[in-house]
A and B are shown apart, each in its own frame.
Chain A
Amino acid sequence: MAGNASRSAAAVWAILRKECRTEWRTRWGLNAALLFAVTTLTAVSFAVGRMPDRPDVLSALLWIVLLFGALSSLAHAFVREVEGHTLTLLRLVASPLEIATGKFLFNVVFLLVIEAVTVPLFLALMGAPPPRWGTFIAVLLLGTLGLAASGTLTGALISQTRGRGALFAAVSLPLLLPVLAAAVSGTRAQWSGLDPGAPLNLLAAYALGVVAIGVLLVDHLWEE
Chain B
Amino acid sequence: MIARVFLLLWIAAALVAAFLWAPLVPVLGATTRVFYFHFPAALVTCLALGWSMVHSALYLRTRDLAHDDHAAASAELGLLFCVVATVSGSMWAKAMWGAYWNWDPRETSIFFLLLLYGAYLALRASLDEPVRRARLAAVYSCIAFVAVPFLVFVVPRLYFSLHPDPLLNTRGKPDMDWRIMACAGAMLIGLTATFFWMLSLRVRLGRVERRRERSKDAPAVPAGGKS
Nearest CB in chain A: distance from B12 CB, A: 37
Residue A44 lies at the interface, judged by CB distance under 8 Å to chain B: no
Nearest CB in chain B: distance from A179 CB, A: 9
Nearest CB in chain A: distance from B6 CB, A: 38
**Do residues B136 and A213 form an inter-chain contact, with CB atoms below 8 A?**
no
A residues less than 8 Å from B151 (CB atoms): 174, 177-178
Binding-face segment, A24-32, A114-122, A124-132, A214-222: A214-222
Residue among A150, A157, A185, A210 with max Cβ neighbours from chain B (10 Å): A157
Q: A175-B144, A220-B60 are in contact. Are A167 and B135 (CB under 8 A)?
A: no
Question: How far is A170 from B143 in the complex, measured between Cα atoms in Å?
Answer: 15
Residue A182 lies at the interface, judged by CB distance under 8 Å to chain B: yes
**Do residues A220 and B150 form an inter-chain contact, with CB atoms below 8 A?**
no
A residues less than 8 Å from B97 (CB atoms): none
Question: How far is A173 from B146 in the complex, measured between Cα atoms in Å?
Answer: 14
Question: How far is A56 from B158 in the complex, measured between Cα atoms in Å?
Answer: 13
Residue A51 lies at the interface, judged by CB distance under 8 Å to chain B: no
Consensus secondary structure, chain A interface: helix
Closest to A175 in B: B147
Q: A162-B127, A178-B151 are in contact. Are A157 and B112 (CB under 8 A)?
A: no
Question: How far is A217 from B137 in the complex, measured between Cα atoms in Å?
Answer: 12
Closest to A213 in B: B146
**Do residues A206 and B143 form an inter-chain contact, with CB atoms below 8 A?**
no
Question: How far is A172 from B122 in the complex, measured between Cα atoms in Å?
Answer: 11
Question: How far is A202 from B139 in the complex, measured between Cα atoms in Å?
Answer: 23
B residues less than 8 Å from A199 (CB atoms): 158
Question: How far is A185 from B155 in the complex, measured between Cα atoms in Å?
Answer: 10
Residues of B119-140 contacting chain A, CB below 8 A = 119, 122-123, 126-128, 132, 135-136, 138-140
Range class of the A interface residue count: 35 or more
Residue A223 lies at the interface, judged by CB distance under 8 Å to chain B: yes
Question: How far is A163 from B112 in the complex, measured between Cα atoms in Å?
Answer: 22
**Do residues A178 and B155 form an inter-chain contact, with CB atoms below 8 A?**
yes
Among B60, B136, B139, B143, the residue within 8 A (CB) of A175 is B143
**Do residues A170 and B122 form an inter-chain contact, with CB atoms below 8 A?**
yes
Residue A38 lies at the interface, judged by CB distance under 8 Å to chain B: no
Chain A residues engaging chain B, CB cutoff 8 angstroms:
56, 150, 153-154, 157-158, 160-163, 167, 170-175, 177-178, 181-182, 185, 188, 198-199, 202, 206, 209-210, 212-214, 216-217, 220-221, 223-224
Chain B residues engaging chain A, CB cutoff 8 angstroms:
60, 112, 115-116, 118-119, 122-123, 126-128, 132, 135-136, 138-140, 142-147, 150-151, 154-155, 158-159, 162
- 4 interchain residue pairs of minimum CB distance: A178-B150, A163-B126, A161-B126, A209-B146
CB pairs A–B below 8 angstroms (18 shown) = A153-B139, A154-B143, A158-B126, A161-B123, A162-B126, A162-B128, A167-B122, A171-B119, A171-B140, A173-B115, A173-B119, A177-B151, A182-B154, A182-B158, A185-B158, A199-B158, A213-B146, A223-B132
